[in-house]
Structure 1
């Protein structure tokens, strides 16, 4: 009888834990969206143009990026008189990388295209993870740069994206993405800082440090942002 009571108690505790966990993720998501200006504000963000100063192994690499949210993005990175171009759409992508001997557009693997999906979402995958088929789990708090940050893991198939939210501002201060590309696990960590609000009321992290095993550390700092301008998808898709 005593064992039965413990078994029933364990079942009740596990059942009770499910809605509490879901509610915690939903509450954090709501606070995150509010920190970025609110749901209506995010839905008004149609496209963006960004100029960025990038630093890789002490070398300066100016970059430009165009994003039509929900549709496609294009990034151009200048280096030693050459230009690396990456184009990502919802179901396809290509890259021109002269540093790797490629002067023509080459397809990006489907897994890599899916991993870049967050680029096309105003805010991030955390903004509307349910609609995109992600499972979300709240993992309590973890320390990031001396901050006890809320930790949320989104997963879908072999793709996993972990968000660390500042408990005071609810901004994302770290994002770790794990996925498989060509049957190899790829992990990328991005630390965000220097959040600012544009005159239109949109909030962006102006500084980021990206780390992965293939490239090492990339420092990125936004120097210019233009919002809701006339972006042409056909021009973004051009390979020249």
Structure 2
């Protein structure tokens, strides 16, 4: 992704440093995948339907999310008796927000679609970052809520993510994304906690807190997950 910043004393020194960083990312990726149950387990996750209880601006906002991994996702949030609907595919997306007077699907900016691409990968961006065209660098250790974490930066075009992996459990505990949307840089941070397994043995964070200057803080708790349900992409993509 971005230049490492190390002085290039010799070609061999540069190769050694780059190789060490690549190896560290790959080792963390392996530990991360193993913490989720292993590559075979993750590859067995084809789709999910989630129901969540969201809290924002003093309101309770029931939501439902459909994900067909590597293909598309749809989200519906109930707000004051109306639904905000968002659809994102691999290369396009749209949103309907009646609270802004829009009752028809409005296309999402390409940058917004790209920044959400990580949600289409089972296990998240780190599981298949190379195959999905991301570059990665290890940024060393840090702390999140008093616990030691590893920092990894992922980049693809003008989309930048910094993910924080717990040094003990290797679970994802934080993800900060930056993207330029409509000419403005937008940053969003999501914190993950309360990891639990479904009856099928798939591991998910049941609590999330999303923070950004545009929407403030949104707390979400998963209340139900259906794994590998049969989903029709055309139905998910249909605005009505």
Q: 1:179 is matched with which residue? A: 179
1:229-240 mapped onto 2 (5 Å cutoff): 229-240=229-240
**Runs in 1 of length 4+ with deviation above 4 angstroms?**
7-12
TM-score by length of 1: 0.94
Shift of 1:121: 0.7
CA RMSD for the aligned pairs?
A: 1.4
| Aligned position for 1:109 | 109
> Is 2:63–2:75's contact at 8 Å kept on the other side of the alignment?
yes
Task: Give the secondary structure class of the aligned counterpart of 1:60.
Answer: strand
Query: 5 Å matches for 1:219-238?
Result: 219-238=219-238
Please name the residue that 1:142 is paired with. Answer: 142
Aligned residues: 234
Distance 1:187 1:65 in 2: 22
Cα distance change of structure 1 residues 14 and 107 upon mapping to structure 2, 3 Å threshold: same
Partner residue, 2:192 = 192
State the distance in 1 between where 2:72 and 2:232 align. Answer: 10
1:34-59 alpha-carbon deviations (Å, 9 max, x no partner): 11111011111011000000000221
- Alignment partner of 1:48: what SS? strand
Q: Secondary structure at the match of 2:210?
A: strand
Q: 1:212 to 1:8 in 2, by over 3 A?
A: closer
Cα drift, residue 11 of structure 1? 5.3
Preserved CA contact (<8 Å) 2:53 2:62:
yes
Structure 2 vs 1, CA of residues 8 and 217 (structure 1 numbering), >3 Å: closer, same or farther? Answer: closer
Aligned to 1:4: none
Report SS of the residue matched to 1:239: coil
Counterpart position of 1:98:
98
Report what 1:76 is aligned to: 76
Structure 1 residue runs without a partner (length 5+): 1-6
Aligned to 1:21: 21
Counterpart position of 1:128: 128
When the two structures are superposed, what TM-score results if normalisation uses the length of structure 2?
A: 0.94
Q: Which one has a bigger Cα radius of gyration? A: 1
Hey, what's the Cα distance between the residues in 1 that align with 2:121 and 2:17? 30
Query: For structure 2, which runs of at least 5 residues remain unmatched after alignment?
Result: 1-6
